[in-house]
Amino acid sequence: MFGESIWKYTIIVFTHGDRLEGKAANDVIACSDKELRNFIHKCSGGFLFFNNKDTTNYESVTELLKKTETLVAINGKSCYSLSFYPASERKVREKMEKILEKRKENIAQRERELVIYCKTEQEVERKKRELWRMEEDNARKQAENPAKQKLPITLSLAMASEEKLWDTLKTEIERETFELDSTLGSEVEAAELRIISDKDLRDFIRSCSGGYVFFNNKNIGNSEQVTKLLEKIDTLVAINGRSCYSTLFYPNSERKIREKQERILEERQEEIARKERELEENYEDKEELERKKRELWREEEEDARRLAENPPRRKISNLTRAPSHVTRSQILL
């Protein structure tokens, strides 16, 4: 219905997070069936849980807005629009909008009636959402089958009690498992401007299920960025059913190279340890020492990989073959 582009603009919102009963969201996802985890993989915006009972907790709303900002940034500040629909669906949507436009006054009248007969503002808003959902459903049916669809019957709230009327009108509402939000809540941070400007980078980020995180190299005392990274890792591990990437996932050719590389590094273990001791003798500053050790290991790993990919060829001795008329006894003598 929505076309393949929908996945680039989708955030999954699980309602009834209160039913988790203290369980961590990532644990629930990790234990869920593979189809759900694959569905989450497809959605660029990730997922979050909403607690239906704790209506005073705005953390979930804040998290949704942040995810929305990130998703809009990854998509170059563009939002999902009618132009992304397949041609057949686009035509249906355009017809739906025309039908709803014609029924605009009638819908407004019914909304005014709700204000009169509903007891609380929350109830008014809930009934309005149900009304619009029903109107949209009817408009879609009429757009898909204009000849067969009968005009919807308009009932006045004065004709029956509120509960009976809404029992008549109410249709089964499916629980939403994902939400497409195209609103940019606030300006994207300066660091995210690079994501907006570079399409190749945005496509690369979109292909990564774990999303992205920015690290401030100068603000080393800020542990929040580390916490954010760990949270993303926990979520990614959960989506993958508690499994982690290992050498088993490498193609056969790459796996063989990695195995050779590990053997080469194992053979050079004593030599590397000796070089590390030399560094400890020459550098007193801990940060500089750690940096030098990382450089050492990087060089050793690169050398080991080159040897694994192109092992030195053994030299074959150029032996002169004995003439065919010389016997074995003559060769031994």
pLDDT in tens, 70-123: 888 887 877 776 666 777 777 888 888 888 888 888 888 888 888 888 888 888
The answer to whether the CB of 257 falls within 8 A of the CB of 50 is: no
Tell me the per-residue pLDDT of 3-33, one tens digit each, with 9 for 90 and over. 677 788 888 888 888 888 778 888 888 888 8
* pLDDT band with cut points at 50, 70 and 90 for residue 197: low
Q: Bigger pLDDT: 289 or 232?
A: 289
Tell me the per-residue pLDDT of 47-66, one tens digit each, with 9 for 90 and over. 888 888 887 888 888 888 88
Q: Which residues contact 126 (CB under 8 A, 6 or more apart)?
A: none
Q: Which residues contact 323 (CB under 8 A, 6 or more apart)?
A: none
Whether 189 shows a pLDDT value over 70: the answer reads no
* pLDDT band with cut points at 50, 70 and 90 for residue 141: confident
Alpha-carbon torsion 180, 178, 2, 169, what sign? negative
CA-CA-CA-CA dihedral for 132, 134, 139, 140, to nearest 10: 110
pLDDT above 90 covers what percent of the chain? 9
pLDDT value of position 250? 78
**Prediction pTM value:** 0.41
Amino acid at 41: H
pLDDT value of position 2? 67
What are the CA-CA distances from residue 121 to residues 45, 114, 115 (Å)? 32, 10, 8
- Whole-angstrom distance, CA of residue 130 vs CA of residue 122: 12
Whether 150 shows a pLDDT value over 50: the answer reads no
Q: What is the mean pLDDT of residues 181-200?
A: 45
The 8-class DSSP code of residue 323 comes to: P
The answer to whether the CB of 75 falls within 8 A of the CB of 9 is: yes
In a 3-state reduction of DSSP, which class is residue 159? helix
In a 3-state reduction of DSSP, which class is residue 11? strand
